[in-house]
Structure 1
Amino acid sequence: MDAASHHLTRVISHGMGVEPVISDWPALTSAEVARVLRHYPGVGQPLRLEWHSPRPFSAACVMQTESGPVIVKRHHARVRDVAALAEEHRFAAHLQARGLPVSSALATNEGATALPDDYWTYEVFPLAPGVDLYREAMSWTPFTSCTHAHSAGQMLARLHQASAGYDAPARPARPLVSSFTIFSQEDPVRPLQHYIEQRPAIADYLENRPWRGEVAQHLLPWHAALKPYLDEFVPLWTHNDWHASNLLWSDATREAQVQTVLDFGLCDRTCALHDLATAIERNIVEWLAIAQRAEQLVHLDLLDAMLDGYTATLPLTARQVRALAALLPLVHAEFALAELDYFHGVTQSPQNASLAYDTYFLGHADWFHSSEGQRLLGHLEQRAQALEKN
């Protein structure tokens, strides 16, 4: 991390656990935002800074301006440069053109949707319509109602429909992108080796770890169970961070519907079932509560509601539901490596790097052997059997 960023104001942000932490990145200041907004035509004078986002991987705020509120987001250039943000913005623009209600980045005077400035990169969005109901919710916390889960499932299916025909190549090696290039292969060991070689920070971290043996022990048995279903995974550009907090809602009630889709920061070319498995992993399992309790971590009512919403628009076969179950223990593995790349290579946090590797990369897969993990997989098998009977 750059020395210059150490002397600026910090905000309280979401950490990797339950407790809030001091943010890795300095808070945006009014003067900084005013300097950025000068590059955006029609926004007008900034009036007051209204809110700082608690999300951990970048800095963001809401600024009230003469033309209305905007969201300004700042990334370290090693995490997102202009080219990286353009990948996300092009995908969101495609979805918007196909009728999906997404938040689209504003363009600068030069027509670019991202602005480089020193070692930062900025993007600016109009405040999208909808209530930010889950604004303070951490990732891996469940929906607060089955209606929310159903609506989120429905909107995810709409996104997958809108994404069809978007044929940009997969994104290059970047920190914090949720790809599906390792366990989608018949033999994942070589693509895993390639993934590590492309990311020097991961290679450095694993230098003194017996990682090949750890992967063989913790992950390859799950991959063996996934192998028969690899032909179900049709490449598709996907959101890859489908959590309630990345959605805006019609109102603040338990009956609210999804109104706008936010935050395409992790989007990439994966497949629909990978995106759906990520949505289950993000919203249905209370990972952050595992330290406190072993039971009641899985919300099967929310799972059914989300899948019912999804399949009302895009029906799944019994085989696809089994593929979804087979994918679940591995769906977070590749993003866990991307987090390791970020924590070891960018923020240089030994504690979070260990969390990414031991708890997320290896530990999440192991959890699926537990009674709660088996309850989740068993429930999906029951859904598959019910589909076969009908």
Structure 2
Amino acid sequence: MTEDTRIAHGLGLDPVAADWPALRDEDAERVLQHYPQLGALREMDWHSPRPFSAAARVHAQHATVIVKRHHRLVREASWLEEEHAFVRHLHSRGAPVVAPLRTLDGRSALTLDDWTYEVLPIAPGHDLYRDALSWTPFLSLPHARSAGSALAALHRAAADYSAGQRQTPVLLANLRLFSQADPLAAIDAELANRPALAAYLANQDWRRTLNELHLPYHRVLYPMLARQPSLWTHNDWHASNLLWQADRADAEVASVLDFGLSDRTFALFDLATAIERNCVPWLDLDSGGKASADLDAVDALLAGYEHVHPLGRDQLQTLAVLLPLVHADFALSEIDYFEGVVGSRPSADIAYHAFLIGHSQWFDDAEGARLLAHIRRLAQART
């Protein structure tokens, strides 16, 4: 890897050239000038493979930190501060998160030229999934159970956080569009403010496709949404965003990372995202497989969650209807990002055809139906 090039996780099995150049020594040195408590740069020894930003582990004179850089089209400082405020609230409530460091003038998001930077302490725990792609499974059922418990505990810590929805226009996970009475009309209205997404969808028969695949689930889900208490949520609850107390199959969660997709949604949205991210091996579809859901991992995740926050019949029924839609808003946001920010039509095509459409088609097929039927059986077993 050269100074200016790094390899990142793509939308499939193969690593790809990153969307953004790697952090260089001079980048880290310039950032550290705003954090004199850290001292001078010694070295950088790891670059994150995550695709939407550039991050590295930076060894400074007085501490080791993670320096993360976003393009301002993706995260202006004020947008990133919304995320940081949530993390600081969770930290104040005892959640296992690390709060971003502040500059001398009190900011936790630093703007330098076209970039927005954040500096994070090293979180405690073992990074057992450091190289894992999204949609790869838990290594063990105890990991799944602990992840469920940690998610429910995070929801408890977030319960009294009162901020409204984030203003960040791209790369958020939520249900803003598919929580509307008419999602197609909501998307149409949104396109006036999202020209790149509008340009991409102009070449797709998206209204007919979403009407056939997504709206049957939406019609059942919509009346259920009024019963869901609003909550700020993580929205990217994958094992790779968790650190673990030991390098063992029975290890428990030690730290929670990466709140980049967080927003005000509701608890079941976060739980559905956790199931979709960890319990369905979506990447199997790229090699012609069936992507069979791991129902044991689903049960372990739910058991861990319910150890902290029990779920009733109505909540499990809602979870089953929500699962085929939980990815939809974020898929549209990814299309907007790849088309409008990165300028990659091939990646936008994958986000549309494989993610927005392909994942919904899977829920209409045998394997997806098996997962939804399993959750409905769990609901029916409740009194």
- Decide: shared fold, TM above 0.5: yes
What is aligned with 1:18? 13
Matches within 5 A, 1:296-307: 297-307=292-302
Once the two structures are TM-superposed, the CA of residue 197 in structure 1 deviates from its matched residue by 2.5
1:304-326 Cα offsets, whole Å, 9 max, x none, are 11100001111100110010010
What is aligned with 1:67? 62
Q: Give the counterpart letter for 1:233 in structure 2.
A: Q
Matches within 5 A, 1:50-65: 50-65=45-60
CA distance in 2, matches of 1:251, 1:356: 35
What is aligned with 1:4? none
CA distance in 2, matches of 1:202, 1:41: 42
Quick check: 236-245 or 362-371, which moved more? 362-371
Quick check: 143-152 or 198-207, which moved more? 198-207
Instruction: Tell me whether 1:360 sits opposite 2:367 in the alignment.
Output: no
Q: Give the counterpart letter for 1:109 in structure 2.
A: L
Q: Secondary structure at the match of 1:291?
A: helix
CA distance in 2, matches of 1:232, 1:304: 24
User: TM-score by structure 2 length?
Assistant: 0.97
Identity %: 51
User: TM-score by structure 1 length?
Assistant: 0.95
CA distance in 2, matches of 1:90, 1:36: 21
Task: Tell whether the 8 Å contact from 1:250 to 1:259 is kept in structure 2 after alignment.
Answer: yes
Instruction: Tell me whether 1:120 sits opposite 2:88 in the alignment.
Output: no
CA distance in 2, matches of 1:89, 1:167: 14
CA distance in 1, matches of 2:299, 2:333: 30
Q: Give the counterpart letter for 2:136 in structure 1.
A: T
Instruction: Tell me whether 1:137 sits opposite 2:132 in the alignment.
Output: yes
CA distance in 1, matches of 2:335, 2:281: 21
Task: Tell whether the 8 Å contact from 1:185 to 1:230 is kept in structure 2 after alignment.
Answer: no
CA distance in 2, matches of 1:26, 1:208: 30
CA distance in 1, matches of 2:170, 2:141: 33
Q: Paired residues, what number?
A: 382
Q: Secondary structure at the match of 2:177?
A: coil
CA distance in 2, matches of 1:357, 1:177: 16
Question: Given the alignment, which residue of 139, 143, 149 partners 1:148?
Answer: 143
1:165-186 Cα offsets, whole Å, 9 max, x none, are 2111111251101121122223
Matches within 5 A, 1:281-296: 281-295=276-290
Question: Given the alignment, which residue of 169, 185, 207 partners 2:202?
Answer: 207
What is aligned with 1:325? 320
CA distance in 2, matches of 1:128, 1:118: 28
Task: Tell whether the 8 Å contact from 2:283 to 2:291 is kept in structure 1 after alignment.
Answer: no
Once the two structures are TM-superposed, the CA of residue 205 in structure 1 deviates from its matched residue by 1.1
Q: Which runs of 5+ in 1 are unaligned?
A: 1-6
1:63-88 Cα offsets, whole Å, 9 max, x none, are 11222210000001100010111000
Q: Secondary structure at the match of 2:50?
A: coil
Instruction: Tell me whether 1:84 sits opposite 2:75 in the alignment.
Output: no
Q: Give the counterpart letter for 2:265 in structure 1.
A: T
Question: Given the alignment, which residue of 47, 69, 74 partners 2:42?
Answer: 47
What is aligned with 1:334? 329
Runs of 4+, deviation exceeding 3 Å: 293-296
Q: 1:224 to 1:206 in 2, by over 3 A?
A: same
